[in-house]
């Protein structure tokens, strides 16, 4: 099954259409084509408008993004304990003063906020906060979503949906209107990583499960996954995993994965997304900003891809040291699709390195990036950064191809960029074949 997936995405018009480009013409052609190709954003923490307050947007949310909170605690004397007692706007005031007024916003995350303000034609100097608040205060969310997606050059947003989240689950259970540009994902971290403290939440939804993952619990979890798949119509199931992740293993995680989640994915013909290498809450005082990275032993992934050839794995790894191994495994297993430069990897210097290595080893058979946006307007700067970083990497690959003796056309470039930023994801998620 996996074999036809990879070839399917290559079925675009033959490449010899269009005029051969000179080496000097290639960079501009790549930048233009990348700028005009709408992207499928395969992993975000954004919500469609129907999810109401769960959707974060506007300047105060941009400023209290956990990436900026981590930087605030390095550039101010405020203690996390005091910071959490403040209102959202007071927190945002603190972040603005420390990172945008008392210091130049040169980090990737602070520059992102500046880029968003500039995109809306707003001032970006140290006194710009009030005007920004006034601007966002005037927006209506529905039209703002469409405008932001157009500015970011994205056509589809893949959400992260937790069937055990106390705020989100009731919305699904009540019934939520689907949105043709927002796609659901069945996120399983609480089940796969925190079963001993979350089986009760599954039981509370009417499933006869218990802490011991007995055969009865396994079949009830399969039923739970089936019911939520009907409810959410997800494009994949997903889970983040620690750097200590091992497979196969007798752990609850290992058992749930092998006996419940992987069979359910096969039955429902859904890929499983694994995001490997997070060290959760190394500093719990700073909450979401308190997670870190660890190098994982990817032999677990080797075992999964080899022993479950009928399952498709969408994989992103958090550690820089694991990137090369992931590329090599993707050359060994065509049921493995590497995607994105996740979290601490999402910095231009590292995105360039990872993308260059992936093109050299995988051609166009990978998904270069996802935004991981938590606040709507972040897609604007995160995709602008990706386009700015990836275009020269691709252009260099085409310059080398032309140098090595094969003429490069706009058709070639369009086909590869469409595959990298759209059809690899569409095909693996069966995005366009869904009812
Ligand atoms: O597990 C994940 O999906 C991570 O992306 C998040 O947990 C993380 O907090 C984040 O926002 C990274 O960008
Ligand atoms: Zn994420």
Atom of ligand 1 at shortest distance to CA of 374?
11
b (16+ CB within 10 A) / e for 214-245: eeebbebbbbbbeebbebbebbbbbbbbbbeb
Residue 316 pLDDT exceeds 80: yes
What is the Cα–Cα distance from 323 to 354, expressed in whole angstroms?
7
Ligand 2 centroid – CA 273 distance (Å): 11
What pLDDT does residue 22 have? 97
Q: What is the mean pLDDT of residues 136-158?
A: 97
Q: What is the mean pLDDT of residues 13-30?
A: 87
Regarding beta strands 336-338 and 313-317, do their DSSP bridges make them parallel or antiparallel, or are they unpaired? parallel
Ligand 1 centroid – CA 375 distance (Å): 12
Percent pLDDT > 90 in the chain is 94
* Residue nearest (by alpha carbon) to ligand 1 atom 3: 240
- 77, burial (CB in 10 Å: exposed 0-12, middle 13-18, buried 19+): exposed
pLDDT tens string 63-89: 999 999 999 999 999 999 999 999 999
pLDDT tens string 416-428: 999 999 999 999 9
What pLDDT does residue 8 have? 46
pLDDT tens string 393-411: 999 999 999 999 999 999 9
Ligand 2 centroid – CA 372 distance (Å): 5
What pLDDT does residue 13 have? 53
Q: What are 232's two structure tokens?
A: 């959410």
pLDDT tens string 275-313: 999 999 999 999 999 999 999 999 999 999 999 999 999
pLDDT tens string 226-265: 999 999 999 999 999 999 999 999 999 999 999 999 999 9
Residue 11 pLDDT exceeds 60: no
More confident residue, 344 or 15: 344
Residue 9 pLDDT exceeds 50: no
Instruction: Place 14 in a pLDDT band, splitting at 50, 70 and 90.
Output: low
Residue 10 pLDDT exceeds 70: no
Q: What is the mean pLDDT of residues 134-149?
A: 97
* Nearest listed ligand to the Cα of residue 241: 1
Ligand 2 centroid – CA 184 distance (Å): 13
Q: What is the mean pLDDT of residues 103-109?
A: 98
Residue 62 pLDDT exceeds 90: yes
* Residue nearest (by alpha carbon) to ligand 1 atom 9: 288
What pLDDT does residue 430 have? 86
Atom of ligand 1 at shortest distance to CA of 187?
3
Residue 15 pLDDT exceeds 60: no
What pLDDT does residue 177 have? 87
What pLDDT does residue 434 have? 61
- 38, burial (CB in 10 Å: exposed 0-12, middle 13-18, buried 19+): middle
Residue 1 pLDDT exceeds 80: no
- Residue from 240, 294, 296 whose mutation best tests the ligand 1 pocket (most atoms within 8 A of CB): 240
Name the average pLDDT for the chain: 95
* Cβ atoms 124, 117 nearer than 8 A: yes
Residue 152 pLDDT exceeds 50: yes
Site of tokens 């490997």 = 276
Ligand 2 centroid – CA 85 distance (Å): 26
Instruction: Place 7 in a pLDDT band, splitting at 50, 70 and 90.
Output: very low
Which of 305, 225, 300 is CA-nearest to residue 260?
225
Pocket of ligand 1 (CB under 6 A): 45, 240, 275, 288, 343, 372, 374
Atom of ligand 1 at shortest distance to CA of 238?
3
What pLDDT does residue 31 have? 98
CA dist 365 → 263, 303, 332, 362, 382 (Å): 26, 21, 13, 6, 22
* Residue nearest (by alpha carbon) to ligand 1 atom 13: 343
* Cβ atoms 341, 369 nearer than 8 A: yes
Ligand 1 centroid – CA 231 distance (Å): 24
Residue 6 pLDDT exceeds 70: no
Tell me the pTM. Answer: 0.96
> Which residues of 212-334 form beta strands (DSSP E)?
237-242, 272-279, 292-293, 313-317
Q: What is the mean pLDDT of residues 35-63?
A: 98
Ligand 1 centroid – CA 240 distance (Å): 8
* Nearest listed ligand to the Cα of residue 66: 1
At residue 53's C-alpha, the angle toward residues 110 and 140, to 5°, is 75
Atom of ligand 1 at shortest distance to CA of 291?
9
Instruction: Place 3 in a pLDDT band, splitting at 50, 70 and 90.
Output: very low
Atom of ligand 1 at shortest distance to CA of 372?
13
């Amino acid at each position: 099954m996996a074999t036809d997936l990879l070839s399917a995405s290559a079925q675009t018009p033959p490449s010899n259409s269009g005029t051969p480009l000179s080496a000097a013409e290639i960079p501009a052609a790549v930048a233009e084509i990348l700028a005009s190709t709408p992207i499928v954003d395969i992993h975000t923490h954004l919500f469609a408008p129907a999810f109401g307050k769960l959707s974060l947007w506007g300047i105060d949310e941009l400023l209290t993004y956990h990436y900026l909170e981590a930087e605030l605690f390095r550039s101010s004397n405020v203690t996390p304990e005091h910071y959490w007692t403040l209102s959202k706007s007071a927190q945002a005031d603190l972040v603005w003063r420390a990172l945008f007024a008392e210091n130049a916003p040169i980090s990737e995350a602070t520059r992102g906020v500046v880029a968003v303000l500039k995109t809306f034609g707003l001032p970006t100097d140290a006194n710009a906060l009030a005007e920004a608040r006034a601007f966002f205060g005037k927006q209506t969310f529905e039209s703002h979503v469409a405008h932001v997606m157009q500015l970011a050059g994205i056509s589809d947003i893949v959400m992260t949906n937790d069937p055990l989240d106390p705020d989100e689950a009731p919305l699904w259970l009540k019934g939520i209107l689907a949105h043709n540009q927002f796609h659901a994902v069945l996120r399983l971290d609480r089940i796969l990583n925190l079963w001993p403290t979350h089986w009760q939440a599954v039981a509370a939804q009417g499933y006869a499960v218990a802490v011991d993952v007995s055969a009865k619990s396994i079949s009830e979890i399969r039923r739970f996954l089936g019911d939520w798949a009907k409810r959410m119509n997800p494009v994949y199931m997903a889970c983040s995993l620690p750097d200590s992740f091992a497979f196969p293993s007798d752990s609850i995680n290992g058992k749930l994965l092998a006996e419940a989640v992987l069979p359910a994915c096969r039955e429902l013909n859904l890929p499983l997304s694994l995001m490997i290498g997070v060290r959760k809450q190394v500093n719990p005082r700073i909450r979401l900003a308190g997670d870190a990275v660890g190098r994982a032993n990817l032999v677990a992934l080797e075992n999964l891809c080899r022993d479950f050839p009928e399952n498709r794995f969408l994989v992103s790894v958090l550690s820089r040291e694991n990137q090369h191994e992931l590329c090599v495994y993707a050359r060994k297993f065509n049921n493995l699709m590497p995607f994105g430069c996740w979290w601490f990897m999402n910095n231009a210097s590292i995105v360039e390195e990872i993308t260059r290595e992936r093109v050299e080893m995988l051609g166009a058979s990978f998904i270069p990036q996802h935004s991981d946006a938590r606040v709507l307007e972040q897609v604007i700067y995160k995709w602008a950064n990706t386009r700015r970083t990836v275009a020269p990497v691709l252009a260099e690959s085409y310059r080398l191809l032309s140098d090595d003796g094969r003429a490069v056309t706009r058709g070639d470039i369009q086909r590869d960029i469409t595959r990298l930023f759209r059809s690899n994801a569409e095909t693996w998620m069966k995005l366009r074949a869904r009812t």
